């Protein structure tokens, strides 16, 4: 059996990736923050779905700032592949906490790469980068050759990790890949993200709630895909013959307004009665990805369409509320 180490296994991507890896016959080791070690980890419950998955997920408490702890987890898990998904993931929080963001997003990536190099083992490494690294773009869509001009601490920290992946690949011969990931959602998306907030609001409105949802802008546009599709791209990168960096994106953008309209329509309501935007957005080039390299070299393409994704998220929130009733 192959062995994989997934940092940030308790998150959305950690769940879908662990599910994929178990289905491929892997043993999975995952890291969770020390302070959150007693909280539910969706990926840890996957063993209950299939008898053959029992005992194949092991959790390791780890603070990303702990160099010695990082080395110990790598030693204990003995991975063939490392999927580095952990870090501070919100742009707004990075502005408020730039030092923390740099420590657990930028430096944590370097620590992992350096420990892999020191181990001398042929470990394959995936780094979860972000489309935010492109910053304020001049043209759309973007691909792997588009210049990167990060505009916030989160994006700068991700770009540092992206650059270190390239450095360790070229200078030390590591099989290291960076995924330039556009927005990808699911029913497990964190509650700090607008997509999850809108799905929750639609389900609550269906149940009779009338409190309005105030968002910064309804005109902002994003390239939204399904997390379950994207983790397939992570895995394919590490199965390739040679390492490279890849954009993963749908190539289409939708506005927050479109998301809200679809979400509330799913429960038979008009979003305009529940959602308001506070600020207009100036038109300009959008963050929209061109995933041609992933399609040609990895055979990767997103399968879940926008409407299907929104419906999936709203339906999940409705089920949660129904279970509580």
**Model confidence pLDDT, tens digit, residues 4-61:** 999 999 999 999 999 999 999 999 999 998 766 556 788 888 878 888 899 999 999 9
How high is the pLDDT of residue 93? 85
pLDDT confidence of residue 284? 64
Indicate if 154 belongs to the active site.
yes
The predicted structure's pLDDT at residue 295: 98
Choosing from 77, 94, 130, 131, which is the catalytic residue?
130
Answer yes or no: are the C-beta atoms of 148 and 135 closer than 8 Å: yes
At 39 the pLDDT is 67
Q: Which of 132, 258, 261, 317 is catalytic?
A: 132
- Determine contact, residues 175/238, Cβ cutoff 8 Å: yes
pTM for this predicted structure: 0.94
- What residues contact residue 43 under an 8 Å CB cut-off, 6+ apart? 6, 9, 10, 14, 15, 18, 19, 28, 30, 57
**How far is it, in rounded angstroms, from Cα 32 to Cα 39?**
9
Reported as a single tens digit per residue, the pLDDT across 134-192 is 998 999 999 999 999 999 999 999 999 999 999 999 999 999 999 999 999 999 999 88
Q: For 197-234, how does the pLDDT look when each residue is reduced to its tens digit (9 = 90+)? A: 999 999 999 999 988 899 988 999 999 999 999 999 99
Walk me through the domains of the chain, giving residue ranges and CATH numbers: 3-185+225-248 (3.40.50.720), 194-221+252-286+305-324 (3.90.25.10)
Give yes or no: 282 in active site. Answer: no
Annotated catalytic, 10? no
Among 83, 154, 246, 271, the active-site one is: 154
């Amino acid at each position: 059996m192959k062995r994989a180490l997934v940092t940030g296994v308790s998150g959305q991507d950690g769940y879908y990736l662990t599910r994929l890896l178990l289905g491929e016959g892997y043993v999975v080791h995952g890291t969770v923050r020390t302070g959150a070690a007693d909280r539910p980890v969706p990926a840890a419950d996957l063993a209950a779905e299939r008898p053959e998955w029992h005992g194949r997920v092991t959790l390791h408490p780890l603070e990303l700032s702990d160099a010695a702890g990082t080395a110990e987890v790598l030693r204990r898990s003995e991975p063939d592949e490392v999927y580095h998904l952990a870090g501070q993931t919100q742009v707004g929080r990075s502005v408020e906490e730039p030092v923390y963001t740099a420590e657990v997003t930028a430096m944590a990536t370097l620590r992992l790469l350096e420990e892999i190099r020191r181990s001398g083992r042929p470990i394959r490494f995936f780094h979860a980068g972000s489309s935010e690294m492109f910053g304020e773009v001049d043209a759309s869509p973007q691909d792997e050759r588009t210049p990167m001009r990060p505009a916030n601490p989160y994006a700068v920290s991700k770009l540092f990790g992206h650059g270190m992946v390239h450095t360790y690949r070229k200078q030390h011969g590591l099989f290291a890949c960076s995924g330039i990931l556009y927005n990808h959602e699911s029913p497990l998306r964190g509650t700090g993200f607008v997509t999850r907030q809108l799905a929750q609001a639609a389900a609550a409105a269906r149940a009779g709630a009338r409190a309005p949802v105030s968002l910064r802008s309804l005109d902002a546009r994003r390239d939204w895909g399904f997390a379950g599709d994207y983790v397939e791209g992570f895995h394919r990168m590490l199965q390739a013959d040679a390492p490279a960096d890849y954009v993963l994106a749908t190539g289409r953008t939708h506005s927050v307004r479109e998301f809200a309209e679809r979400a509330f329509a799913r429960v038979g309501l008009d979003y305009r009665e529940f959602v308001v935007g506070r600020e207009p957005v100036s038109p300009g080039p959008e963050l929209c990805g061109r995933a041609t390299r992933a399609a040609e070299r990895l055979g990767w393409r997103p399968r879940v369409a926008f409407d299907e994704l929104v419906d999936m998220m709203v339906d999940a929130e409705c089920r949660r509320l129904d279970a509580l009733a």
